[in-house]
């Protein structure tokens, strides 16, 4: 049996396993938790600790820019753990990749993070088996669950971000929760959704139902009407 000191593809797959909220149509990944599980692997943790301190020493000796040092660490991570690179690619449908949160002043607190197209760092990743409206609505609820629990402030909405993937296409989704001021049910916050496509600019903010249909249209434009009925 492999030990925790000898990472295998199966080790990484377990750390990238979907949450219990997943269904047959929607596979949900808590992105931050997955990054934490990866960072806690014994072999990766040792490499990360040594690489982080070595990078700091390089800054002291040669005055290298932090961006270059960070880039060298990232390349080193990918070269040292190629199975992890593949596991992340497969678990995210090609939408996600590895990055490092390197802290030069606190190198022992450096860790691995998962980032997505457009440098998004979502709370939730959702892989859709098919772009049915019911599946999209379920995935949107998973993103909404990641919203902060406190009440939003005026001009500073609560936000939560997701990335949806279907057949290798990726779409960023951002929830915004505003105070319900000026409404009869002003105690209830107002929620809207912004779509963040890879190919263009972010959309305007839309109501949840309208956003769900927009996501269906993004992934299945040729079958839009049929999918809307599901």
What is the distance between the alpha carbons of residues 204 and 80, in angstroms, rounded to a whole number? 42
Both 115 and 77 in a single domain? yes
**Rounded to whole angstroms, what are the CA distances from 78 to 50, 55, 88?**
15, 16, 11
More confident residue, 62 or 11: 11
- Whole-number mean pLDDT of the chain? 85
According to DSSP, residue 206 is labeled B
Do 109 and 206 belong together in one domain? no
How far is the CA of 28 from the CAs of 52, 88, 91, 136, in angstroms? 31, 14, 10, 12
User: Can you say how many angstroms the Cα of residue 56 is from the centroid of all Cα atoms in its chain?
Assistant: 28
Domain housing 181: 124-228
Q: What is the pLDDT of residue 114?
A: 95
Query: What's the number of domains the chain is made of?
Result: 2
Cβ neighbourhood burial of 73 (10 Å; 0-12, 13-18, 19+): buried
Distance CA 56, CA 64 (A): 9
Read off the pLDDT of residues 73-108 as tens digits, 9 standing for 90 and up.
889 999 999 999 999 999 999 999 999 887 766 767
Quote the tokens at residue 67: 């961006």
What's the pLDDT tens digit per position in 54-67?
Answer: 877 766 554 457 76
pLDDT digits (tens, 9 = 90+) for 144-182: 999 999 888 888 899 999 999 999 999 999 999 999 765
DSSP 8-state code for residue 4? T
Whether 56 maps to a domain, the answer reads: yes
Segment 180-188 mean pLDDT: 61
- DSSP letter, residue 101: E
Instruction: Using the predicted structure, report yes or no on whether residue 4 has a pLDDT greater than 80.
Output: no
89: exposed, middle or buried (Cβ count in 10 Å: 0-12, 13-18, 19+): middle
Domain boundary among 59, 85, 119: 119
What are phi and psi for residue 100, nearest 5 degrees?
Answer: -120, 135
Number of Cβ within a 10 Å radius of residue 58: 15
**SS3 assignment, position 230:** coil
Give, as one character, the DSSP assignment of residue 221. G
**In a shared domain, residues 59 and 133:** no
Both 46 and 138 in one domain: the answer is: no
222 and 173 in a common domain: yes
Residue 27: inside a domain, yes or no? no
> Which of 207, 6, 224, 31 lies closest to 113, judged by CA?
31
**Tokens linked to 83:** 């199975």
CA distances from 35 to 20, 44, 124 (A): 17, 12, 12
**For residue 202, pLDDT beyond 70:** yes
- 147 vs 224, more confident: 147
């Amino acid at each position: 049996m492999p030990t925790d000191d000898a990472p295998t593809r199966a080790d990484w797959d377990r750390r990238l396993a979907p949450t219990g909220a997943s269904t047959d149509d929607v596979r949900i990944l808590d992105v931050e938790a997955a990054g934490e599980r990866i960072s806690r692997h014994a072999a990766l943790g040792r490499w990360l600790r040594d690489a982080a301190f070595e990078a700091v020493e390089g800054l002291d000796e040669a005055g290298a820019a932090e961006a270059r040092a960070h880039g060298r660490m990232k390349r080193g991570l990918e070269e040292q753990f190629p199975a992890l690179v593949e596991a992340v690619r497969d678990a995210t449908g090609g939408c996600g990749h590895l990055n490092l949160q390197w802290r030069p002043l606190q190198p022992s607190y450096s860790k691995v993070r998962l980032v997505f197209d457009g440098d998004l760092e979502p709370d939730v990743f959702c892989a859709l088996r098919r772009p049915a409206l019911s599946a999209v609505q379920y995935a949107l609820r998973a993103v909404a669950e990641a919203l902060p629990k406190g009440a939003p402030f005026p001009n500073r909405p609560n936000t939560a971000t997701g990335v949806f993937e279907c057949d290798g296409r990726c779409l960023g989704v951002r929830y915004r929760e505003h105070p319900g001021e000026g409404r009869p049910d002003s105690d209830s916050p107002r929620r809207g959704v912004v779509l963040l496509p890879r190919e263009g600019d972010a959309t305007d903010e839309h109501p949840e139902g309208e956003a769900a249909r927009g996501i269906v249209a993004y992934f299945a434009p040729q079958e839009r009407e049929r999918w809307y009925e599901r």
